[in-house]
Amino acid sequence: MIQPNTITNLHQISDSEAESLCIRLRSRLLDVTSRNGGHLASNLGAVELTVALHRVFDTGEDRLVFDVGHQCYTHKLLTGRNAQMDTMRTLGGISGYPKPQESPCDAFIAGHASNSVSVALGMARARTLAGAHYHVIALLGDGALTGGLSYEGLSDAGESGEPLLVILNDNGMSITKSVGGVAQHLAHQRLKPQYLRFKKGYRKAMSVIPGGEHIYHVTHQIKRAIKETLLPCSMFEDMGFTYLGPVDGHDVKGLTHLLTFAREIETPVLLHIRTTKGKGYPPAERDPDAFHGVSRFCIQTGEALIPHQKSFSDVFGEALCGAAETDRRICAVTAAMQDGTGLTEFSRRFPKRFFDVGIAEGHGTAMSAGMAKQGMLPVFAVYSTFLQRGYDMLIHDVGILGLHVVFGVDRAGLVGADGETHHGLFDVAYLSTVPGMTVFAPASFAELRTMLHYALFNCSGPVAVRYPRGGEGEYHGDNGAENTSIIRSGKGITLVTHGILINEVLKVTEQLAAAGMDPEVIKLNKICPLDAGPVCKSVKKTGKLLVAEECCEMGGIGQQLAAQLSLHGIAPSAVYLANTGRGYVTHGTVAELRRLCGLDADSLLKRAWEVLGHG
């Protein structure tokens, strides 16, 4: 039934065929993720919903907008990509997220949470303006509802009156447990199934009583009052949605009926379904956090096949615990990424000083500003790509008052299999624009410890420490106490880098030295404010410059150095700025992507020879 390369038409299948399809899809999901890694638990939880959606809608024409998009694997399997699933998240293979370039059935890209309602509303408005009649559906999780952007979308959509179906897949989980008042609100709704029974029974009774329809309308106010007693605050109805639910999201037959009904409603509808994250695979049902994002694992036991290696995030978490032990002002903040940012131990040891703000990076930044203003020392550990959401708050709430908030900017640089929505390639540029900002770029665990300590106790104003995904390379040095380090003195060419890329640059250095060249190697430890002095001095001597960095070209350190050289009237005979360029970078392993961007040792060596005039 799951065809290798054709779109599976589910419109005619029976309920029992749909149920058996769900079983096969689940085993395919396990098969793919156990070999390639990826997002497992969220996909297992959304199988019946996705099958029901494909029974009712035509995703080639109707627009299904996924929130985050990590739950789209079943959709890919049903839309002609079964055969390519084995290539998912690998270089040249299909993406682990929806991608319109990959299939006309992928309505939009996704990767960052909470934007789906806004995007779907835009599509619905475009459809109406064009006089077209396709359906638009936004599918978001309860975790995505902890992000404020969702409410901007819901508020506008509810008022718009546009026909639009918003499906809330409520599993009570973000990556870890969903936090905050909305999570409590949804949990409360789950306790009120009598509301649905009442609503159904009431309408039925009125339809058989003579004059019942009239009574139904007259008693609308009473019904509303009763409803509010049973369901204390139907936030969504107040926003202008017709609210349906909560219903069992694993009942494919029931969902199909409800979706068919919802499809015909010509106003905004919110369908609230309840699912179990990890459904159908006991290890994932038991521990949905651990199976949210997986690397290769054994299906029988659920055990990971790739042993965990110490990462920069682990070291950050340990170092922060050490600092919090001695300084009671230190608080840790995360935006729904407790495990990913290495803060689990901190949350256990210092629960009162640990704050998970939900998928709300803007709020996390402003909240940290408030804490800092009142004398605490907040440390917001956040992935580079997600801190993009907090850019305004960085300037407005933290920057202008020069507040001492420390940002642990995790996953800085290329992140690998998650691809273009997740690489941390922009923070060097955007952090550099914030007046008063200090940015450190550790290249080893030891430097991360030294720089975090310095950021906490020797800096004022906003400070970021940016470190990569995964572990260290061969460079284990600690130059963290210096702004700039001359790693090797020479006079033939100036090689400049920062962060983890020092490992590639040192390989280049070795090769050049072996060939009789004499490179000078400069490692920038503090990249903002940038002290261009040592580089200017070196380039005056060598006349040749190669800058290698794992970030985008515009606003990167290479461009900043080139501007400084020019301002100081230094005109090298040859310059090459190696970076990830002006485009977006696809998915693959970090090593493959470095090669693709020309940032691996071999590519950099070629560039160095060109700069040296031997290209």
Ligand X SMILES: Cc1ncc(C[n+]2csc(CCOP(=O)(O)OP(=O)(O)O)c2C)c(N)n1
Binding stretches for ligand X (CB under 6 A):
42, 67-68, 70-71, 112-113, 140-144, 171, 173-175, 277, 335-336, 359, 386, 389
| Residue whose CB is less far from ligand X, 141 or 543 | 141
Nearer to ligand X, 334 or 538 (CB): 334
- How many Cα neighbours within 13 Å face the side chain of 391? 13
Least distance from C-beta 298 to ligand X, angstroms?
A: 23
Token pair for 164: 């639009």
CB of 293 to ligand X, least distance (A): 8
Q: How many whole angstroms separate alpha carbon 146 and alpha carbon 490?
A: 53
The closest of 444, 454, 525, 441 to 484, measured between CA atoms, is 525
CA 523 – CA 526 distance, rounded (Å): 9
Residue type for position 29? L
Q: How far is the CB of 27 from ligand X (least distance, A)?
A: 20
- Residue 213 DSSP SS3: helix
Name the minimum Å distance from CB 357 to ligand X: 11
Could you tell me the strand order of the sheet in which 63-66 lies?
63-66, 136-141, 164-170, 268-274, 242-248
To ligand X, the closest distance from the beta carbon of 507 in angstroms equals: 33
Report the candidate in 142, 70, 76 with the shortest Cα–Cα distance to residue 106. Answer: 76
- Tell me which H or E stretch contains 152: helix 148-160
- Beta bridge partners, 498, equal 524
* For ligand X, the closer CB: 331 or 415: 415
Q: Which residues are CB-contacts of 253 (< 8 A; sequence separation ≥ 6)?
A: 15, 18, 19
Shortest approach of ligand X to residue 215 CB, angstroms?
40
Q: Which is nearer to ligand X, 97 or 312 (CB)?
A: 97
In terms of CB distance, is 341 or 579 closer to ligand X? Answer: 341
Of 384 and 497, the one with the shorter C-beta distance to ligand X is 384
Q: What are phi and psi of 269, to 5 degrees?
A: -125, 140
E-assigned strands of 411-536?
438-440, 463-466, 484-488, 493-498, 519-524, 526-528
Closest CA relative to residue 463, chosen from 490, 438, 427, 493: 438
- Taking the least distance from each CB to ligand X, the nearer of 70 and 135 is 70
- Selection from 188, 485, 134, 470 nearest residue 316 by Cα: 470
Q: Where are the alpha helices (DSSP H) in 191-311?
A: 193-208, 212-218, 220-230, 235-238, 252-263, 282-286
Residues in the chain: 615
Partner residues linked to 578 by β-bridges: 548
Q: What is the b/e burial string over 95-113, where b = at least 16 CB atoms within 10 angstroms of the residue's CB?
A: bbbbbeebbebbbbbbbbb
Q: Which residues are catalytic?
A: 277, 361, 389
Q: Toward ligand X, which CB reaches closer, 340 or 490?
A: 340
Smallest separation, CB 175 to ligand X (Å): 5
| Least separation in angstroms between CB 355 and ligand X | 15
